[in-house]
Structure 1
Amino acid sequence: MAPDRAPRQHVEKVAGSRRARLTAAPGTTGEPRPADEDRGAEASASSDSGPNDERMKRDVPPHY
């Protein structure tokens, strides 16, 4: 391996679990960020609806 490689994520084994966990990617934190933070206020203020939205809400699948 070349010594000048960039840092990477690593797999961590979790005791008592069937799944492994990845470490945080370099330059990021391990904490999740809520989706609302990404969009900001402009997404919640815009409630644009398309021409077929009301029809889609009324439609019922044939197996109901």
Structure 2
Amino acid sequence: MSDSGDAEPRQRVVRVPGARRARLTPVPGSDTAPEAATTATGDERRTAPAGAKGPNDEQLLRDVPPHY
């Protein structure tokens, strides 16, 4: 077991006032910047697959779920 006098930095739990959950401090040496967002628009993501087409493929590609 390690002694309580270790010089090794560790994550700590930090209480956030008004929040339901606590937060951890960043891991030493980690990058806390968010990942780059993708620049694809909805049209670029909804391309038709290569190969044989089924009878309702066009309708399925046009449909957007109600929560979008």
TM interval, shorter chain, is 0.3 to 0.5
TM-score, structure 1 length as denominator?
A: 0.42
TM-score normalised according to structure 2 size:
0.40
- Structure number with bigger Rg: 2
